[in-house]
Structures are given as structure tokens and as C-alpha cells.
């Protein structure tokens, strides 16, 4: 295997954050020596998450075995996932904001036609449903655990307790038509199912769409980590990967 120099476009503050957490973890375990120091292990995890490179390629570049690379990455992901904010913490921190924006996104996975629970009819592909909350400026605040792609957005929001949490906090939330019937403080556009919307309703829908469109920035932020654009791992690991990416994003934006 040929090895060549490469780069990772990530924030240095996020890299220092992860390296610091890894050093603390090693001190807790009483680790005396490893093939990579904490800084290099953090860089290894970043290269995997940001560029989506497989462990075999990264192992060759870092001069370690494939199994060691996998173990180092899994350790970093577990540490980061444990630090991700919960829904309750996110809602509490956002209680003074005028409103929040809720939307769902599909993370594609490598599944075959027989895996129907993971098939999204809306997107016409297999994937995992992740709910995203953004602030009024479109900044990513929270990402939910991953559910099978066949789960609709409103059902996913209910299962994660998003609607109830926002209602208890009294925070208005803008969402699209996929959350029809959500209730609580969720604000939806008018639907023209039987009768065409009036001029006033169309104006409200246009205003609603302008506000809700900002959540696409938060989703793009999540998917700027290339590993999440096409996941080729066990579906049981995807939630931890999403939470790890969320933690790194928040660490780099503070």
C-alpha cells in the first residue's frame, strides 16, 4: 500500500479538545505507553470522521495495525459520544431563544432491498433517520439518536420526546409538513390538500419557508463530516458516530 501526505480541514480547537479528553482518559486508565500519543490518536479519529477514510488506509498512514487503528477510533468516538448534550440540556440552554427549527435528515447506509425497515420511501434509499434542532441562525444545536429510515419524521420526534420537551419549555418550533399532527408548540405551514390555500395562507407559507430553510445549514454542517454521507458500518454504531460529530462541532464553535 502506498502512503502519501494528506490534510484534514478541522478546527484546531476541536483537535485540542479531543486530545485533552484522550489524555484524561489515559490517565484514568493508568495507560503507560501506546503506539500513538493522544494528539496523534485525536488526529486519527478526525481523519476517519471528517474524510471517511477506512481504518486500513489510516493504519498504513499512521504506521499502526488496522486493528489498533479501529480500536483507537472507537475509543475516541465513545468518549465524544458520552459528552454530547442531551435533549433536556439543549432545550434548557435554548430557553431564551425566540424559536427553534426542527427537521429530519436521512443518513445513507449500505443496505440491500431486503432490509425494508431501513428503506425511506420519501428519499427512495436505505438510511437512518436523524432529527436535528437548529437555532434561529441555522446553527446546529442537537442531533438525535438514529432510527431506521422507514420511520417518519413526526414519529421520530415523538419517540425522542422532542415535541413534549419543547412544549414544556414553551419554545416555539418551526417544522415542515412532515410533522403534521405534532401539536404542542410546533408551527407548521398551511396545507392545500383539498382546497387551494388563500393568498394570506400562501404568504404565511412563504414566510414560514424562509425561516425553516435555515435548518438546512445545520444539516449541511452535520454532513460536512464525510463519514456520515455514506455509512458502511453496523447500524448500532451510527448513533454514537452522530453524537461524536455533534460534540466536535460544538467544541469547535465555542
pLDDT for 88-98, tens place per residue? 999 999 999 99
From residue 26, give the alpha-carbon distance in Å to each of 29, 36, 46: 5, 12, 18
Amino acid 112: pLDDT: 67
CA–CA gap between residue 82 and residue 24 (Å, rounded): 14
User: Taking 80 as the threshold, does the pLDDT of residue 233 lie above it?
Assistant: yes
Mean local confidence (pLDDT), 13-33? 93
Residue 3 binned pLDDT confidence (cut-offs 50, 70, 90):
confident
Residue 122 binned pLDDT confidence (cut-offs 50, 70, 90):
confident
Q: With beta carbons less than 8 A apart as the criterion, state whether 58 and 68 touch.
A: no
C-alpha cell belonging to residue 78: 465513545
Reference 169, options 145, 154, 185; nearest CA is: 185
C-alpha cell belonging to residue 121: 420511501
DSSP per-residue letters across 40-88:
HHHHHHHHHHHH---HHHHHHHHTS-HHHHHHHHHHHHHHHHHHSPPHH
CA–CA gap between residue 249 and residue 240 (Å, rounded): 14
User: Taking 80 as the threshold, does the pLDDT of residue 254 lie above it?
Assistant: no
Residue 171 binned pLDDT confidence (cut-offs 50, 70, 90):
very high
From residue 160, give the alpha-carbon distance in Å to each of 157, 182, 242: 5, 13, 15
Amino acid 199: pLDDT: 79
- Which residues does 99 contact at the CB level (< 8 Å), separation at least 6? 136, 171, 172, 173, 174, 187, 211
- Which residues does 47 contact at the CB level (< 8 Å), separation at least 6? 6, 8, 53, 58, 61
pLDDT in tens, 197-232: 777 888 888 888 898 899 999 999 999 999 999 898
Reference 165, options 147, 182, 153, 189; nearest CA is: 182
Alpha-helical segments (H) within the chain: 12-29, 38-51, 55-62, 66-83, 87-93, 153-159, 162-169, 199-212, 215-223, 238-253
Amino acid at each position: 500500500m502506498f502512503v502519501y501526505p494528506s490534510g484534514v480541514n478541522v478546527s484546531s480547537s476541536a483537535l485540542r479538545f479531543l486530545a485533552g479528553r484522550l489524555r484524561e482518559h489515559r490517565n484514568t486508565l493508568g495507560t503507560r505507553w501506546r503506539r500513538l500519543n493522544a494528539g496523534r490518536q485525536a488526529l486519527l479519529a478526525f481523519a476517519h470522521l471528517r474524510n471517511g477514510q477506512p481504518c486500513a488506509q489510516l493504519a498504513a498512514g499512521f504506521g499502526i495495525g488496522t486493528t489498533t487503528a479501529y480500536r483507537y477510533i472507537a475509543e475516541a468516538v465513545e468518549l465524544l459520544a458520552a459528552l454530547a448534550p442531551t435533549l433536556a440540556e439543549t432545550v434548557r440552554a435554548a430557553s431564551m431563544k425566540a424559536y427553534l427549527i426542527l427537521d429530519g435528515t436521512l443518513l445513507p447506509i449500505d443496505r440491500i432491498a431486503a432490509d425494508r425497515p431501513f428503506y425511506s420511501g420519501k428519499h427512495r434509499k436505505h438510511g437512518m433517520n436523524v432529527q436535528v434542532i437548529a437555532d434561529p441562525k441555522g446553527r446546529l444545536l442537537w442531533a438525535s439518536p438514529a432510527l431506521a429510515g422507514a420511520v417518519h419524521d413526526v414519529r421520530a420526534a415523538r419517540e425522542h420526546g422532542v415535541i413534549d420537551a419543547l412544549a414544556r419549555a414553551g419554545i416555539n418550533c418551526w417544522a415542515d409538513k412532515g410533522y403534521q399532527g405534532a401539536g404542542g408548540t410546533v408551527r407548521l405551514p398551511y396545507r392545500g390538500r383539498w382546497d387551494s390555500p388563500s393568498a394570506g395562507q400562501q404568504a404565511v407559507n412563504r414566510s414560514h419557508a424562509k425561516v425553516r430553510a435555515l435548518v438546512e445549514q445545520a444539516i449541511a454542517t452535520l454532513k460536512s463530516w464525510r463519514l456520515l454521507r455514506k455509512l458502511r458500518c453496523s447500524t448500532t454504531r451510527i448513533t454514537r458516530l452522530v453524537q461524536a460529530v455533534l460534540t466536535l462541532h460544538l467544541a469547535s464553535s465555542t
